[in-house]
A and B are shown apart, each in its own frame.
Chain A
Amino acid sequence: MYFNKNLLWVKVLSWRCALGCCCMHTNMAEPMELLCWGGDWDLPSVHSDSLIVLAYAKFSGAKLAVKSIDWTWRTITASVPQLHYEGSTVTEPAQILNFLRKQAEMKLYIQLYLLSATKSKMTPTCQKKIKTRITELEKGSPPCRFNADYELTAKQGADTMAYIALLEEKLRPALLHTFWVDAENYVNLTRPWFTSHSPFPLNFFVPGRQASLALSRILLTKAESPLLNITEVEGKIYSEAKECLNLLSHRLGNFHFFFGDTPTSLDAFVFGHIAPLIKAPLPSGQLQKHLNQLDNLCQFCNTILKNYFTDASAEKRMDCSLTAPHDPVDANLQKLTQLVNKESNLIEKMDDNLRSSPQHRHETKPSARASERNSPLLSKH
């Protein structure tokens, strides 16, 4: 009886999986759509927040249909970046990263369940646990802020939050100033670019609106005393930004990415902030000059561009994804089986990391012990 009920649920799941509600590699489903500003200066997008989402999507292998808002009315109506999927909309880079990660996690759990059901060797408690987790994810667990990596330890997750706060507080005001408030840069680079990428008659309004938003943000957050004017604030924010870049450079050291050899959400955030600064042809860029002296950060940026954003790597990835649709479920299951073979307590590890990570807030009590019994069973294939 139990087996039949589960079989039905398995069928529903595999149908859903086949429709690709979470499957990233299949071409059959409607892909997730991302709205963002267009690209220039060797970058996929000139907008920091859009770059963050694009970079993370490449890191995690999520398939996104990128739609540029250039030359549309969305330049003034939409808050970019924006992710559309099955009728729901997600804005803000942190929320979007969280959403992508949740999709990836759901996919993994569903496939684990499929694997367990087809092999029918996993104990019912473990299956039940996976099932609960999937329904939780579907319902939409409480939103977490920077919940984008489950490969990191809890402490690394805490570090991610701290460094992202550092970026937002110290580096972003200076970036806004460099592109939108500094007169030379604004008149010679930013305004012409945004004017030429907006439709008539919006091209008269879009750059001015962005510039005034940027200025008000800087003044409200940094120039707290009525005695300071914009020139004194400039000195303060640039010195803080240079210090922030130095700190990032110290933290990165000689590594390829901030946490070992694989890129994570922190790498996406740092890339999104510093890439426009490195690549844009700014007429007056004291911050750019400072950044060019920090070799490891420039190297970091170029590595990501080369490995994830050039056409060569894109073709390579397209080849892989072309083979996948032949048998998406099987191929993914095979990959998953290998994963499970490699680490017999995969569920327990993921669960532990998830439960103890600072960004993860859930009320369910995981019974990690159940998975221990399953791992020897799962690993024999």
Chain B
Amino acid sequence: MSLAAEAFVSQIAAAEPWPEKATLYQPLKEDQILLSDSASSLAVQTFLRMCGLPVQVSCCANAEYMSPSGKVPFIHVGNQVVSELGPIVQFIKAKGHSLSDGLDDVQRAEMKAYMELVNNMLLTAELYIQWCDDYTATEISRPRYSSPYSWPLNHILAYQKQWEVQRKMNAIGWSGKSLEQVYEDVSQCCQALSQRLGTQPYFFNKQPTELDALVFGHLFTILTTQLTNDELAEKVKSYTNLLSFCHRIEHTYFKEHDRESQSGSPHHYKGSLP
């Protein structure tokens, strides 16, 4: 969105309260969604629960195409459609809910920096493993991504997506990396997060922020997704404070609601946390 349009949307957003029928769209849970999309979707759901805003999760095969920026998840609130965690956080801030108000400038800078670290390393690693590793791409990613479509569209769409991701990896210099190097990067990223978290319940004091939502989304998804091998999950499991962080957020924000409403469970087609 251009800057003028963004400002316009914020103004409109501020005018209305959060409606009852807000919906979050993502690809099909059982058959279609992939690791990276699932992680982003879970991050947004966690953030909304942390703000106490109710949202219905709707799974559609064409969620990616409905989204204004081509990325999932996106939320449909009133008259507006906003996609990706960054713009959603701003949109919700315009409505008057914010998790990071209590932070001072330096802490906000740190929070943004760590969010970029997660996006830069974890998300890129997830995309790499899904689409640039031949075995995973053939066994898991392509079949899942194209499952709602019939032949020959499924082949065309799957290969198109794979080429797109590979071009992006080329542009940022990740195409020369081997799988072991990618796992190593994930490990270092987790170590940095583990160091930053330390023994605190959340990353910044006692209150959760969008950084906690983002980290939870990615780590939980990595831990509960079955890929061709378990190495990625093993890398994350070796940091006990990150594991307990995930457990804590799952219990606080997802178990209670599940008991009440029997929906919106973060357990997708994978198992539950070990």
Mark out the residues of chain A between 347 and 375 whose CB falls within 8 Å of any chain B CB in the assembled complex.
Answer: 356, 358-359, 361
**Residues of B close to A144: CB separation below 8 A:** 188
For A225, the chain B residues whose CB sits under 8 A away are 68-70
Q: Which of B49-107 contact A (CB under 8 A)?
A: 68-71, 105-106
- What chain A residues lie within 8 Å of B21 (beta carbons)? none
- CB under 8 Å from chain B, chain A span 168-200: 168-170
Q: Is there a chain A Cβ closer than 8 Å to B171's Cβ?
A: yes
Smallest Cβ-Cβ distance to B167: which chain A residue: A220
Dominant secondary structure of chain A at its interface with chain B: helix
Q: Find out whether the CB atom of A159 lies under 8 angstroms from the CB atom of B110.
A: yes
Knowing A142-B184, A170-B116, A232-B2 touch, does A251 contact B106 (C-beta < 8 A)?
Answer: yes
Does A239 make an interface contact (CB < 8 A)?
A: yes
B139 interfacial contact with A, CB 8 Å: no
Which among B1, B117, B172 is the interface contact of A162 at CB below 8 angstroms?
B117
Residue in chain A with minimal CB distance to B71: A224
Asked if B9 is at the interface of the complex by the 8 Å CB criterion, the answer is no
Choose among B2, B110, B119, B173 the residue that contacts A235 (Cβ–Cβ < 8 A).
Answer: B2
CB <8 Å contact, A162 and B2: no
Q: Give a binary string over B154-197; 1 marks a CB under 8 Å from any A CB, 0 the rest.
A: 00000000000001100111000000010011011101111110
Q: Which residues of A contact B153 (CB under 8 A)?
A: none
Contact present for B116 and A166 (CB under 8 Å): yes
Q: Tell me whether A159 and B113 are in contact (CB under 8 A).
A: yes
Shortest C-beta distance, B61 to chain A (Å), equals 19
Residue count of chain B within 8 Å CB distance of chain A: 38
On chain B, the residues within 8 Å of A236 by CB distance are 1-3
**Chain B residues with CB below 8 A from A361, complex form:** 184, 187-188, 191
For B140, the chain A residues whose CB sits under 8 A away are none
Interface membership of B255, Cβ < 8 A: no
* Contact residues in B for A221 (Cβ distance below 8 Å): 168, 171-172
Q: In the docked arrangement, what's the CA distance between A356 and B112, Å?
A: 24
Shortest CB distance A241–B (Å):
13
Which chain A residue lies CB-closest to B196? A158
| CB of A247, distance to nearest CB on chain B (Å) | 4
Q: Are A226 and B70 in contact (CB under 8 A)?
A: yes
Q: Which residues of B contact A224 (CB under 8 A)?
A: 69-71
Interface band, chain A: 35 or more
Name the prevailing secondary structure of the B interface residues: helix
A248–B3 Cα gap in the complex (Å)? Answer: 22
Interface residues of A in 70-122 (CB under 8 A from B): 92
- Contact between B106 and A161 (Cβ–Cβ < 8 Å)? no
A220 touches B168 (CB 8 A): yes
Assess whether B270 is interfacial by the CB under 8 Å rule: no
CA gap between A161 and B192 in the complex, in Å: 8
Asked if A165 is at the interface of the complex by the 8 Å CB criterion, the answer is yes
Q: How near does chain B come to A186, taking the closest CB pair, in angstroms?
A: 19
Q: Are A169 and B120 in contact (CB under 8 A)?
A: yes
B119 and A162 contacting across the interface, CB-CB below 8 Å? no
A247 touching B108 by the CB < 8 A rule?
yes
Whether B105 pairs with A250 at a CB distance below 8 angstroms is: yes
A157 close to B171 (CB less than 8 A) = no
CB–CB A145/B109 < 8 A: no
Please name the 8 residue pairs, one residue from A and one from B, whose CB atoms are nearest each other, closest first. Answer: A158-B192, A358-B191, A247-B109, A162-B113, A358-B192, A250-B105, A165-B117, A165-B120
29 A-B contacts, Cβ less than 8 Å apart?
Answer: A142-B184, A155-B198, A157-B192, A161-B117, A165-B113, A165-B116, A165-B120, A166-B113, A166-B116, A168-B116, A169-B120, A216-B171, A220-B168, A220-B171, A221-B172, A224-B69, A224-B70, A232-B2, A235-B3, A236-B2, A247-B108, A251-B109, A251-B110, A253-B106, A356-B195, A359-B188, A359-B191, A361-B188, A361-B191
